[in-house]
Structure 1
């Protein structure tokens, strides 16, 4: 007869000086599971090597112990001085203005990738930030193996939620153990029951998905509620990794035989959406974008007037623009921080005007949150009592508003920066005039920055 002995039951006798028979049995535990290697991340340093959508021609590297490097540098300087290469792309990027969304839309795929990878301009209208809708659809249909950025973010949030639930369970057990030792254990809810309630609250905040996006579809709702669902997220199931998450079935036409054919018929329905400030910076500041309206290219002065008119809702149709126009204030601040090398992104998610990134959203979180405040410090605005009342209404902010905004930025680990823009007196020129110069208008504005941090008594002591 052959005997089968498990590896976990094998004991190896070792000599021990303090034991009775001179040997002690040490059991070998199960082998540790091998860690699954994480998927390789894209090389963002190489992808986003250019900070702006311009061509850069750096000089060759100087090598001290190689005299030929001086000749290469001299040749590069000589050739670029007499035959300067163009820093702009051969063809300008194209976009069209949308009056419905009051923004500029870019539909060309190459232009979308160029504007996002070289300066993080715009956002995908069907994505959180980077235009990745096509990759997400391919991922849902099983045509793409790599995980998208949205899936990575969703997985991190789920891991963070599981960690918080596990921490709450351990704290609850520690409290019960302490009360049990002191004899004060009363009618406390069990740990599993408490965590189950939290899981139900989480499920109510994140409703179940439906294939057609309609929450009133009773047939799909019955299909979800008919089966048994486990509300305890801490229960360890060995078959959890083998389960396939629910996803809506892809609709395949009759002439499609296999799912591989979807890769050819699947079209990208996403476009890049640029704000008015980003568009005008690309048109006026860099000169790489051409904006059209109903198929007609718009000149820079006409585009300036168009953005000023659409800076508020409903749009204004006045022939003259006010010096405190919202578009002017936002663009002055946007141009100011872009010229300093910051990556400026909209900050509506955190109740601010802009967010400042050191290199970009893919490298690190935003360091500063910007709020734009108009400042009527010019003597023109205090000449009459009527002007004083008008400017006082626009400048007045109560302390409760400041505390609320600062508290939000503290919770998300960002420094609040109050940017005051000095409003000049109104000018008599209009964009239709021949002598109208946008540069002279922007020079009249001044920007002042104040970094505000929350005062905490425990950390800020004398």
Structure 2
């Protein structure tokens, strides 16, 4: 195996813009580790879901399921969604700050998962969280999911990841014509999930600094 600090090529960069139409934002409902949201045709989020491949159809329902990373990105970066995390329908939908803290309670590794997700979305990749069958955390597409194949399978590495696991993952990705991309973060203790750490503070801290390593098979030169 050989490590390459850069991906094979960069995706087409796409500008990420916030919704400034003034329309009423859809409100999603936190369901376990997903967010359920009903979308009407013509709203900005409906168009983003179609064009940028956010979420997946909820079977038997006229609704869409978003991962926690997708929902927070749509809230904080795109400003096209609100998420209600309260038990009472009378309460206002949460801010991205409150939702971020809730996600940290649900998933201890969420802060860095979101940092990785956000990093790839902002540089133009379509990032899909449904990568478990490939033994990965995310899949990266340089275009619509129904038009191109995923180019990279992303694994968020930590101190418990063994090299033999990397080798096995790389072989698995090769069988489905994907490169393996390892993403790591500085080995620093994360703040407690209940701590009042704002999302901007986290994203600007060393905790969210992304390091990438592309893993490919090394073919020895024939003698």
Give the structure-1-normalised TM-score: 0.40
Correspondent of 1:115 among 42, 45, 48: 48
Do the aligned partners of 1:419 and 1:447 also contact (CA within 8 Å) in 2?
yes
Do the aligned partners of 1:417 and 1:449 also contact (CA within 8 Å) in 2?
yes
- Structure with bigger RCO (C-alpha 8 Å, 6+ apart): 2
Matched, 1:290 2:223: no
1:139-186: CA deviations, max 9, x gaps? xxxxxxxxxxxxxxxxxxxxxxxxxxxxxxxxxxxxxxxxxxxxxxxx
Q: 1:437–1:409: structure 2 CA closer, same or farther, 3 Å change rule?
A: same
Q: 1:456–1:334: structure 2 CA closer, same or farther, 3 Å change rule?
A: same
Deviation at 1:53, TM superposition (A): 8.0
Matched, 1:89 2:46: no
Matched, 1:277 2:208: no
Q: 1:337–1:363: structure 2 CA closer, same or farther, 3 Å change rule?
A: same
SS in 2 for 1:419: strand
* Pairing of 1:194-273 with structure 2 (within 5 A): 269-273=61-65
SS in 1 for 2:83: strand
Match of 1:354 in 2: 138
Aligned residue pairs total 201
Match of 2:157 in 1: 373
Structure 1 unmatched runs, 5+: 1-50, 56-86, 127-132, 134-268, 312-324, 375-394
Correspondent of 1:327 among 110, 116, 121: 110
1:413-438: CA deviations, max 9, x gaps? 00111111114344589655xxx532
Counterpart-to-counterpart distance in 2, 1:417 and 1:109: 36
Higher strand share: 2
Correspondent of 2:185 among 394, 411, 421: 421
Correspondent of 1:338 among 100, 111, 121: 121
Structure 2 unmatched runs, 5+: 1-13
Higher helix share: 1
Counterpart-to-counterpart distance in 2, 1:52 and 1:114: 15
Do the aligned partners of 2:173 and 2:180 also contact (CA within 8 Å) in 1?
yes
Match of 1:406 in 2: 170
Q: 1:271–1:53: structure 2 CA closer, same or farther, 3 Å change rule?
A: farther
Counterpart-to-counterpart distance in 2, 1:272 and 1:53: 21
Deviation at 1:282, TM superposition (A): 0.8
Q: 1:270–1:279: structure 2 CA closer, same or farther, 3 Å change rule?
A: same
Counterpart-to-counterpart distance in 1, 2:78 and 2:119: 14
Do the aligned partners of 2:29 and 2:37 also contact (CA within 8 Å) in 1?
no
Matched, 1:453 2:216: yes
Do the aligned partners of 2:58 and 2:64 also contact (CA within 8 Å) in 1?
yes
Counterpart-to-counterpart distance in 1, 2:141 and 2:148: 7
Counterpart-to-counterpart distance in 1, 2:211 and 2:202: 18
Counterpart-to-counterpart distance in 2, 1:431 and 1:52: 32
Give the structure-2-normalised TM-score: 0.79
Counterpart-to-counterpart distance in 1, 2:104 and 2:191: 15
Do the aligned partners of 1:416 and 1:452 also contact (CA within 8 Å) in 2?
yes
Match of 1:98 in 2: 30
Do the aligned partners of 2:28 and 2:83 also contact (CA within 8 Å) in 1?
yes
Deviation at 1:54, TM superposition (A): 4.7
SS in 1 for 2:54: coil
Do the aligned partners of 1:53 and 1:115 also contact (CA within 8 Å) in 2?
no
Deviation at 1:339, TM superposition (A): 1.1
1:204-237: CA deviations, max 9, x gaps? xxxxxxxxxxxxxxxxxxxxxxxxxxxxxxxxxx
Do the aligned partners of 1:418 and 1:449 also contact (CA within 8 Å) in 2?
yes
